[in-house]
Amino acid sequence: MASTWNKFYRGYVEEPSLVEVGDGIYAYLHHDGSWGLNNSGFVHSGHELAVIDTALTEDRTRLFREAMTRRSGVEKPQVLINTHHHSDHTFGNSVFDDACIVAHRLCRDAVVKQGLKPTDQDPIVPWGSLKVRPPQLLFDEKLELYVGDHRAELIFVGPAHTSNDIVVWLPEERVLFAGDVLFHDATPITHGGSTAGSVRALNTMKALDPRVIVPGHGTVCGPEVLDQWLGYFSFVTDTAAKTLDAGLSVLDAARQQDLGEYAEWQHPERFVLNLHRAYEELKNGPEAAFVDEAAAFDDMLRLNPSSYGHRIIKDREAYVDPCSSIERGDAPVRAPEA
């Protein structure tokens, strides 16, 4: 796990790769998909170009834009889609200052509130010259977008990973950009979203019957990964129900639980983050307020002292999700049923 420190701060495990997942549809993968090493993508047809997510730093995003321009032959994309507000998917927005940014309504609020706070907590990261550029074109449930002959459906599936998750679905090609609602061979993160909502989102994606999926982190995969994640969330909720009834704390429950096959996934210690969320939902309902993120990360650090949490444990305020006070109120926003 110690290598994660170097990967996050100093560069890549290997060079990013550009993968064609359909005619004119590409995934841009940051390996190995660990913290901050996200995936982006683009769709192009003729002189029309739409971008799906950016990257954590200015340099990473510029490299992505250069690769996209070389492959597509289009210098200026018309549209940039943000699948959710997290910095590894939105901090490069200002590199695309000539594109209209599209996202869910809650994403704009979260991007604005987030600002550039992560740059203060991680001064060692070569962030570059970043500027906050929030989404401009907002929607609530679904938006249809054409890129030349490509038809894309932007579908709200949150709360899942966050309050404001959307997926990008190209029905004719059966290609799905899942954002961070799905990782490949890595443990989910739902403490800032919803475990119940994640199950709903996965079932929504499964009903689309995708041929290929571009996850938010990890390699391009097939629809079988959806069932793997559904199994994981059943495991989390079953564990939470059993250990909550037994009066165990989240940390004690996580320490006692054998993760089985899920121990082989990247960052298995994230189990404690998901367990925090599952506990909260069992006690207060699926639309319960967010968990105490500082406490959840403290527990993750105690479970695995070499985990990512050691970067930010010295400043408990630094890693509170900025959208935690935005998305839930008297009438919580949730995705429609599949």
pLDDT tens string 240-275:
999 999 999 999 999 999 999 999 999 999 999 999
Specify if 138 maps to a domain. yes
d(CA 334, CA 20): 32
Specify if 148 maps to a domain. yes
Q: How far is CA 111 from CA 104, 122, 160, in A?
A: 11, 18, 17
DSSP string spanning 229-283?
HHHHHHHHHHHHHHHHHTT--HHHHHHH---GGGGGSB-GGGHHHHHHHHHHHHH
The number of C-alpha atoms within 13 Å of 59 and in the hemisphere containing its C-beta is: 10
Specify if 240 maps to a domain. yes
What is the per-residue pLDDT across 152-168, written as a single tens digit (0 to 9) for each? 999 999 999 999 999 99
Specify if 53 maps to a domain. yes
Q: Edge-to-edge, what's the strand order for the sheet holding 100-104?
A: 17-22, 25-29, 39-45, 48-52, 79-81, 100-104, 137-139
What is the per-residue pLDDT across 21-44, written as a single tens digit (0 to 9) for each? 999 999 999 998 888 899 999 999
Can you tell me which residue has the tokens 């200052």?
A: 97
Position 334 pLDDT exceeds 60: no
* 221: DSSP letter: B
- The CA radius of gyration of the chain, in Å to the nearest whole number, is 19
**Nearest residue to 206 via CA among 238, 181, 232, 235:** 181
d(CA 127, CA 185): 27
d(CA 250, CA 293): 13
Q: How many domains does the chain have?
A: 1
Give the CATH number of the domain where residue 98 resides.
3.60.15.10
User: Is the separation of the CB atoms in 106 and 333 below 8 Å?
Assistant: yes
Give me the pLDDT at residue 96, please.
98
Type of residue at 283: K
Global pTM? 0.89
Specify if 336 maps to a domain. no
Give me the pLDDT at residue 308, please.
59
Sign of the CA dihedral 74, 78, 322, 199? Answer: negative
Specify if 331 maps to a domain. no
* 9: DSSP letter: H
- Specify which residues 156 forms β-bridges with: 166
3-class secondary-structure state, position 314: coil
Mean pLDDT of the chain: 88
Position 15 pLDDT exceeds 60: yes
Output the CA torsion 59→52→131→67 (10° steps).
Answer: 30
Specify if 334 maps to a domain. no
**Domain membership of residue 17 as a residue range:** 3-325
**Nearest residue to 76 via CA among 46, 102, 47:** 47
Specify if 333 maps to a domain. no
Give me the pLDDT at residue 79, please.
99
